[in-house]
Amino acid sequence: MIKSVKLGLAAVLAAGISASAAFAENIKIAFIDPLSGPFAGTGINGLHQFEFAAETLVNSKGGVLGGTDFEIVAFDNKISPKESLIQLQVAIDQGIRFIAQGNSSGVANALTDAINKHNRRNPEDRVIFLNYSAVDPALTNEKCNFWHFRFDANADIKMDALTDSIAADGNIKKVYIIGQDYSFGKAVAAAAVRNLEEKRPDIEIVGNELHPIGKVKDFTPYSRKIVSSGADAVITGNWGADMVGLGRSILENGYGGPIYTYYAAADGITAAFGDAGVGSLRLVAEGQINPAPSDRAQEYVDAFKAKYPDGNISQARIANTIEMLAKAIDAAGSATDMVAVADALSGMEHESIWGGKLMMRPGDHQLIQDVHIMEHTKGVKNDYDNSGFGVAVVKTVTMAAMDAPHSCEMKRP
């Protein structure tokens, strides 16, 4: 009798899965990211950007392969590796061959591993992994594989650009490094130390520490240490509530110098800093939206804001991801021959909507692109969180880390 209950529920399960698999003419991209739970804000905003990019940059221009549209199918992974793997399986069963994911390097690591295994074990329905945001350097180095493509600049590339900016500032003599205690935070700290030693051996690193991720309620003790160390600059890879907590606490407790960050913008963070962040917060990121590099970019931002007034173009690379995928499918002449599409993507060059050139480096599938240093500024045209504040580009590194070495040994199928 229990089993018959189980049977009935399983029937519901099958119906639920196959209901959405009914129409198949579009090229579907599975968006596997958190749509519920603590990181849902970032996930949903990313989903909107994907849907908008697919609609504006591909579908409204006639689609790919002479008239086939892109369709984004959302899967909620609750930022859990286990759930991501289940949803990956569901997506593959629905005939989806392109997987997009970005939030959390831990999930990306689980997915790239699973996709590699899946493609090896099931050559008849291979999939491609479009990593649009997970920046752990390992993913394009020792853990790289042929099916994984990263569209964001990885943590090392960003740190290279960021330390260039610090090295150029003669006033900075002491630097404090603080980050979340996990692989990304550690990668940021290691890259910062390495780069600073190389570029400005005279800079003293007065602090290098990690704090538990997502567990710190009050950052005051940390900011006390930073203030009393006499640091002229702070480097942190923090994101989400940890970024706001740390940044606000440092500023409130008497620190006035620059804070170099990776993720101190959008998703409520810009609004939370407001006036306090002006003159201090610096970001390293790709994708220039202030000032918009072209009319086309400005139109894109305007149209997005008209559709999602509460949303932000916080991940400019999503537009690049969609455009390059469309180009690769057209070049391969097929959306089903994954090896051909991956080959077309690998080494592809493209003019970004955000200005500058893009190149998918064939050796490790890391996208080489312009990386910018931005400042938290009041009164920019394209603000974040409708707060009147936004990030404006102050410095650009063209084709950052183009010739930097990598340790990837790519195996073609």
For strands 233-236 and 259-261, give the pairing.
parallel
Footprint of another protein on residues 248-267 (CB under 8 A)?
Answer: 248, 252-254, 267
Judged by CB under 8 A, which of 56, 59, 105, 280 binds another protein? 105
Cβ(207)–Cβ(225) under 8 Å? yes
Least CB distance from residue 381 to another protein, whole Å? Answer: 19
**With the C-alpha atoms ordered 299, 300, 303, 305, is the resulting torsion angle positive or negative?**
negative
Nearest to another protein of 214, 379 (CB atom):
214
Least CB distance from residue 344 to another protein, whole Å? Answer: 27
Q: Which stretch binds another protein (CB under 8 A): 34-42, 350-358, 359-367, 370-378?
A: 34-42
Residue 91 φ/ψ, nearest 5 degrees: -60, -45
Q: Does 24 bind another protein (CB under 8 A)?
A: no
Helices (H), 183-219: 183-199
Q: Which stretch binds another protein (CB under 8 A): 32-40, 163-171, 315-323, 375-383?
A: 32-40
Q: How far is CA 193 from the centre of its chain?
A: 23
Token pair of 259 as six digits: 């804070």
Judged by CB under 8 A, which of 16, 362, 379, 413 binds another protein? 16
Closest CA to 105 of 144, 135, 146: 135
Footprint of another protein on residues 42-81 (CB under 8 A)?
Answer: 44, 48, 75-76, 78, 80-81
Footprint of another protein on residues 163-182 (CB under 8 A)?
Answer: 181-182
Distinct helix (H) and strand (E) counts, the chain = 12, 15
Footprint of another protein on residues 369-388 (CB under 8 A)?
Answer: 385, 387
Least CB distance from residue 127 to another protein, whole Å? Answer: 12
Residue 320's SS3 state is helix
Task: List Cα–Cα distances, 163 to 22, 85, 109, in angstroms.
Answer: 51, 36, 27
Nearest to another protein of 85, 368 (CB atom):
85
Task: List Cα–Cα distances, 397 to 188, 221, 384, in angstroms.
Answer: 19, 35, 23
Q: Does 124 bind another protein (CB under 8 A)?
A: no
Judged by CB under 8 A, which of 69, 164, 209, 337 binds another protein? 209
